[in-house]
Amino acid sequence: MKADKKMLKSWVRQQNSANRSATMTMALVGMCNVLTGMVLVWSLASILAELLASGQGVALRWLVLFVLASILRVILGYAQEQLAVSSGEKARKRLRRELLARFFAQGPALLRHQHSAALASLLTDRIEALEGYFARWLPASALWVVAQWSVVLVVFWQNHRAGFILGGCCLFLPVFQAVFGIATAVASRRQLLALNRLQVRFLDRIRGIATIVLSGNAEKDAQNLGRAADELRQRTMKVLRMAFLTSASTDIAMIVALVWIVIDQRHSLLHGGSIPQTTSILFAVLMVPEAFAPFRALSAAYQDRAQITNSGEAIQKLPLLPELTVKESAPRLVPDRTDKGIDLDVRNISYQWVEDRPLALDDVSFHLKAGDIALLTGPSGAGKSTLIEMLLGFIRPREGHILLGGADLQALQPADMTRQISWIGQKPVIFAGTLRENIMFAAPAASEKQLQEALEASAIVDYLALLPDGLETKLGEGGYGLSGGQAQRIAIARAFLKDAPLLIMDEPTAHLDPATEQDILVSLRRLLKGRTALISTHSSQFHNIGETVHLAIEKGRVMEQEIL
Amino acid sequence: MKQLQPLWNIWKSRGGRLLVGLLLAELSVCAVFLLMGQTGSRLGLIAVGGVAAFGILRFAGASRIILRYLERLATHDATFRVLADIRLWFYRGLAKGAAAGLGFRRSGDLLSRLVADVQSLDSFYLRILVPLATALLSLCIVLGICLKGSVLLAFSIGIIFCLVAFALPTLMAKISYRWGPELQRTQAEMNNQALDLVGGMRELRIFGQEDAATERFLTAEDVFYTAQRRQGRAMAHVHALSLLLTRLGVVFALAGCTGFFFPKEQAVMGITILFVVMTALDNIVDLPRAGLLFGRIRHAAERVVEATIVPNGTPGEGTEPAPNGHEIEGKNITFGWLPGKTVLHNVNFRIREGERAALIGPSGAGKSSLAALLLKVVAPKKGSITLGGHDIASIQTEALRSKVAWLSQSSHLFDDTVRSNLLLGRDGISEDAIWAALEQAQIADFVRSLPDGLDSWIGENGSHISGGQGRRIALARVLLSDAPVLILDEPGSGLDMETERAFLATLNQLDRSRTILLITHRLTGVEQLDHLWTIQDGTLISHSL
């Protein structure tokens, strides 16, 4: 727990320093704005003092200065806003690219540890939520102390007594914060947690609302939800009663400073003061809001700060997997491919997903000659998927070697390795895009003729006419919905187009009905010609596919190996 | 705006508390003006050598502090109450109309977005209504004070005030309302690309397309940021304009004091006016931002209200209580989800009490449509369904659903304990009954092995347990209900072959008073059936056993 917090803190520090130059630029512009504010208030005070003293005309130069300072302030405010927008955007882009690099370095094994939707939301929503942190909180927190105390110092320089009062009230601020703040911070953090939990619960209920409604329990559940919300409101208000004292303390400090300075200065002005005297008093009074403005900006951005902890925690939760990179300098190996397929030799491999769990693969060895077809069977949890992910290069064996066409899989450059392997899983991912794009992405350079061949071999042609726009039909999120069999044919077409010598299949017909399975098998048989294949399956239909090697795996070990 | 009526009604029902909050906010604004006006006039008075009393100044300061505190408490309390009301209203609305249909569609993301929309409604009162109302009062006060100087001054300050407090926010609301859909579309596109990129990581790696997919994702990001930047820039311009206008207002007030453009005021009066004007303008300078928020909230409110509208074709509620018998008969049923496309054509079937039937066919053939019809999620275009001899169209929907329990392919597991997942809010169910259901679903041993047994937390959508275990808990939930009719839609999906067989075998031993309709794409061979139907081209074919 403590180590986690430490890691989180150092991660946040890292983010802050990566953003330092932008933060400093914004703080600098903010400081200029504060200084301009001083000039502005000074000119205003001078105008008013002359007016009060003489009742006659006012020197034009003060008025000009006032207008100029006003315009400068508008420009600086505009610049601040633009800077905040661009800095927030830059920081989000940087973080997103860092995460992307990490995702790809760890590879598809990540999907074993976390749901893809959670990973995707990390890439999108979690990062988007950080805009305020970089755009508002960081500059405000860098600026506020310096800005506040430079105002106090300038006021002190002009008017010692007023400066003392203002400084005292400003000093009071942290004291107030400490007294009310710490007490409420603990309680409100707990409250925030409770509120968060209620929101999560509401979201969860809404997501599962069909299940509740169709079980006829909707009204009862609604009442429970309402009760929980009401309880939370009562507890929240209890905390807020204290928490608002903290914000009230800012009001108190400011108003006390204002009233005190006005009342205190009456002695020095008794029977009419000189112009410089009046100016200094007016200046001090008018500067009071300016002294508290930076602190207010900080308080306003306070909730943005919570976001960095949320996102940071989510990122910390990512598993730390070994990165799958091969040294660039390593000699380039080229696996040996023949017309019949490729030779696959698995030697004594072992693997463990989690330290204290049993081995997922325990000293597994087998050998497939070019053109061999192996059926991998075994109960779920036996290690079939682990073996497949290892052959696909998503994970690396703890011990042992895999030789593909005579080359060690681990020493191959990723591109050289994937060139040799095709894969068909249980359900292919259909990307947002047209049918053509979804097939062609397996081999972007393929010709129209090759595409036609793949369409025929995979029997996509059989349903092509049914699609609204043929090959240009939009698929994926919000697009045309394909049936399981139709989607699996896309995976087969991809494999045809890619034309790799080793074909790995992970229960390719698990989600299909028997009739569709039969149809798919016809296409698969065509695909298997001239390739080495390893097929994990429960279905007995695959026994008819031709001469196969049977690998039965149980508890991470290959139990039998026979030729059928 | 008219369609937002239901939301207004919720606000209205909490009108009293909202008004109290508003009133306190107005009083607190009065205190600020008193405070700043007093500061100005006292300073002016002593500067010209007059004698000043400070009682009102002290009073104004103290009341500002107290009123502001009370205002925060009252407005937040009112907001929390309204928020709870809105959520409950949304939940009930969804439950009445769209929710049942959602069981047959996958729309988790859509719902998450809607929940975010509901949450964004929170800020309407606190950040838009209250500031606008106080601005209105401020305008009256400022005009009143300025009129003590001159009509011309009051007129010009009033115009500037209205521009900043009302015109610019309206403009900003319009802009953000107009650009909202574009922003949402581009962001959704980016999210979709991210889902493709992460979910398709295996395919992308195998086919060497990681770089291409990354580029597509980053392009989508760029398009989204361009849209966002455009709105950000508009916001910055409007904000700069509002800053400029408020400065102009101060210059006018100052000019009024010095007699440059306006008839010259008495010095002390002038400085009081100046302080009041400055305070008023400072308070409204951020209102254009509230306009931006308003555009967003309007979109959110529209989506939320739309989601609660009962879709066309939803069967009526019905008035009759559930009948005693539970023989099911479908007569000449014709049905399609979309107009012009029929999934079922003139289908007839009958399941007597206690019979076991299986419905087999490829996906998309209309198996689940039949379940939807039986549960009154949709109504047949032609023909009728009877339960115990009564047309289900006339039976109360909730009562019907307590007679017909359904295990869907996407039964939701709640982020809660095993027990609450099984009970779903029902009470009066004995511990023994719970364990019996768990036994039948082949999951009792696993639940017993959990450290907290029935009170173990199963995580978001069952993330702490495996898919097969979650599936079996959903099964146990259906078995636990006292509904005499069970519809099991692909009960074996996510289970390995052996567990699936064991489960189907326990169904055979189930009390023969219960009717079971099994919807599946293949049989395992252990089922003992009274009917076996397949669906082909929209018609039901009965097979002999």
Q: What is the pLDDT of residues B146-184, one digit of tens each?
A: 888 788 889 999 999 999 999 999 999 999 999 988 988
Minimal Cα–Cα distance from B276 to chain A, Å? Answer: 12
Q: Which tokens hold the place of B517?
A: 């309709």
Query: Which of A44, A63, A262 has the highest number of chain B CBs within 10 A, making it the mutation to test binding with B?
Result: A262
Q: Which of A226, A259, A265 sits opposite B61 (nearest CB)?
A: A259
Residues of B in contact with A100 (CB under 8 A): 214, 217
Cβ neighbours around B62 below 10 Å, total: 16
**What is the model's pLDDT at position A271?**
56
Q: Which of B47, B103, B260 sits opposite A210 (nearest CB)?
A: B103
- DSSP per residue, A239-298: HHHHHHHHHHHHHHHHHHHHHHHHHHHHHHHTT---HHHHHHHHHHHHHHHHHHHHHHHH
Minimal Cα–Cα distance from B79 to chain A, Å? Answer: 10
- What is the per-residue burial (b if ≥16 Cβ within 10 Å, else e) of A297-335? bbeebeebbebbeebbebbeebeebeebeeeeeeeebeb
**What is the model's pLDDT at position B216?**
92
Nearest residue in A to B196, CA atom: A431
User: pLDDT tens digits for B310-340?
Assistant: 776 677 777 888 888 888 998 998 888 777 7
Q: Quick one: pLDDT band at residue B489, thresholds 50, 70, 90?
A: confident
Give, in order, the Cα–Cα distances in Å from B322 to each of B254, B360, B390, B483. 79, 29, 9, 11
* pTM score, whole prediction: 0.82
Cβ neighbours around A126 below 10 Å, total: 21
Minimal Cα–Cα distance from B206 to chain A, Å? Answer: 5
Tell me whether B106 touches chain A (CB under 8 Å). no
Residues of B in contact with A106 (CB under 8 A): none
Query: Which region, left, alpha or beta, applies to residue A377 given φ > 0 means left and ψ of -120 to 50 means alpha?
Result: beta
- Residue B289: pLDDT above 60? yes
Q: Write out residues 299-338 of B within 8 Å (CB-CB) of A.
A: none
- Residue A32: pLDDT above 70? yes
Q: Which of A67, A263, A514 sits opposite B54 (nearest CB)?
A: A263
Backbone phi and psi for residue A532, each to the nearest 5 degrees, phi listed first: -85, 140
User: pLDDT tens digits for A166-187?
Assistant: 999 999 888 877 777 666 666 6
Among positive and negative, which fits the CA dihedral A504, A506, A509, A512? negative
**What is the model's pLDDT at position A321?**
78
Residues of B in contact with A428 (CB under 8 A): 203
Cβ neighbours around A406 below 10 Å, total: 12
Tell me whether B193 touches chain A (CB under 8 Å). yes
Residues of A in contact with B250 (CB under 8 A): 70
Instruction: Please give the ipTM for the structure prediction.
Output: 0.87
- DSSP per residue, B491-545: TTTTS-HHHHHHHHHHHHHS-TTSEEEEEES---S----SEEEEEETTEEEEE--
Residues of B in contact with A44 (CB under 8 A): 254
DSSP state of A133: I
Question: Contact A218/B92, CB-based, under 8 Å?
Answer: yes
**What is the model's pLDDT at position B108?**
55
Query: Which of B207, B223, B247 has the highest number of chain A CBs within 10 A, making it the mutation to test binding with A?
Result: B207
Of the candidates A459, A439, A453, which has an alpha carbon nearest to the alpha carbon of residue A522? A459
- DSSP per residue, B3-67: GGHHHHHHHHHTHHHHHHHHHHHHHHHHHHHHHHHHHHHHHHHHHTT-----HHHHHHHHHHHHH
- Residue B1: pLDDT above 80? no
Contact A562, A386 (CB under 8 A): no
* Mean pLDDT within B178-207: 88
* Mean pLDDT within A234-252: 82
**Euclidean distance between CA atoms B194 and A125, whole angstroms:** 10
Query: Which of A33, A40, A51 has the highest number of chain B CBs within 10 A, making it the mutation to test binding with B?
Result: A51
**What is the model's pLDDT at position A152?**
95
**What is the model's pLDDT at position A193?**
66
- Residue A418: pLDDT above 60? yes
Question: Contact B57/A199, CB-based, under 8 Å?
Answer: no
User: pLDDT tens digits for B406-434?
Assistant: 887 777 888 888 888 888 877 788 889 89
Please tell me the least confidently modeled range out of A349-363, B29-43, B67-81. A349-363
The listed range with the strongest mean pLDDT (A329-343, A346-360, B344-358) is: B344-358
Contacts 24+ apart (CB under 8 A), B258-266: B258/A47, B258/A51, B258/A57, B258/A58, B258/A63, B259/A57, B260/A63, B262/B149, B262/B150, B262/B152, B262/B153, B263/B149, B263/B150, B263/B152, B265/B149, B265/B150
**Euclidean distance between CA atoms B265 and B252, whole angstroms:** 13
Q: Which of B68, B209, B463 sits opposite A441 (nearest CB)?
A: B209
Q: Which tokens hold the place of B437?
A: 């259901």
Tell me whether B387 touches chain A (CB under 8 Å). no
